[in-house]
Each structure stands twice: as structure tokens, then as C-alpha cells.
Amino acid sequence: MAAETLGDWRPLTPEQAHERLRALTSPWWIAGGHAIDLFLGVRTRAHTDLDVGLFRDGQAEIFSALHGWEIHAAVNGRLRLLAAGETLRRGEHGLWCRPGAALPWALELMVNERDGADWVYRRDPEVRRPLDHVVLHDSRGIPYLAPEVQLLFKSKGRRPRDEQDLDVVLPRLDAGRREWLRAQLRRADPAHPWLRRLG
């Protein structure tokens, strides 16, 4: 979804998101390129938005954490304003959030699926992982998506920024993280070009 056609972005920082969302009782995590930076402990590139993941059953809490904000379902290039407490329909995964109608977008929420204590990959429900392997925390307690899981999401589009994220994080992936990502890429596309780089 193109930000230039749906309004400007002035994204929160991961630190600001943590301050606003820390009271949630449902799991949530920083995703996208910021998750790569949190894993590495350094900012590696410019970011135009802030992605935050959460589970479908945790959506209702967002209206309390973002009290007074506009929250829109973002589906197929269109936005739909949600009423307080309204949740996404099955098959919908994106929420765009801003402090007010005339203000820039500040946060994109990506709704994930789970089965009990397991995170479930929405593109292939057979791919699942225990939550404590999917969500890590930096030294300040900010939760973020594990790099191998973030790279799995990025492997589909392979935009220049996704290739850049692979470049910077690959040397820091241990054998277990590499093997998990390698297995999922083989499952999705046995000819995926990243497989050669994973060894």
C-alpha cells in the first residue's frame, strides 16, 4: 500500500511504540526493518514507517493503548475506519493508525495468527514456532520479531531494502536461525536465491 496515495507518514520510533504499548497484556513486537536493527543493536538504514506485530486475539486492546487515535483496516490498497473495539475480518491483516484525521500515519499494525502458544505463519499455516522463539527482547525490554522470521516475511518481495536487511543480518545469524530459515525457504520455493547464501 503506497503511503504517498493514502497520506503522509511520521512514524513512531520503536522506543515511542514501546512506551505506548507496554501496558498491553497480549504479546506484541516491533517488526520490519526496525526488528533487524533491534537484533543488531544499531540502525542500519532509513525507515519510512514502523511495523508492529500482534496476534488477532489481541486487537481489542489496541483501542485502549491508542485511545483517541484513528485506526483503519488497510486492505487491498484501501482504508476503512474502524469503530472503537471493531476488529479485522478473517483474511485481513493490516491496521494503519494515526493520532488524528489531519495528522500523518504513525504506526502500522500487522495482525498475526496463533495456535495456543505457537505463532503461525499466515502464508503457510503448517509453519509455526513457539512464541519465545519468535519474539526476542533488546536490553531495554523492547520486543521484536526474531530476524529469521522477519527474513521469511521479506523473502517473498525481495525489494532492495529486503536484500539490504539480509546482507546486514546474515553474518549474525547462528546455525539454528539459519537452518530454520533455510527449511522454510525450501518449503516455500526450493529455487529461492537466498538458499545459496544461507549455505
Checking if the pLDDT of 11 tops 70, the result is yes
Which residue would you say has higher pLDDT here, 162 or 199? 162
Handedness of CA 99, 100, 106, 107 (dihedral sign): positive
pLDDT digits (tens, 9 = 90+) for 83-94: 998 999 998 999
Q: How much is the pTM?
A: 0.93
| 179-197 pLDDT, tens digit each | 999 999 999 999 999 999 9
Q: What is the mean pLDDT of residues 103-127?
A: 96
In this prediction, residue 199 has a pLDDT band, given cuts at 50, 70 and 90, of: confident
Domain coordinates in residue numbering, the chain: 3-148+167-173
What does 133-183 look like in DSSP terms, one character per residue? HHEEE-TT--EEE-HHHHHHHHHHH--HHHHHHHHHHGGG--HHHHHHHHH
Q: What architecture (CATH level 2) is domain 3-148+167-173?
A: 2-Layer Sandwich (3.30)
Separation between Cα atoms, residue 158 and residue 58, nearest integer Å: 29
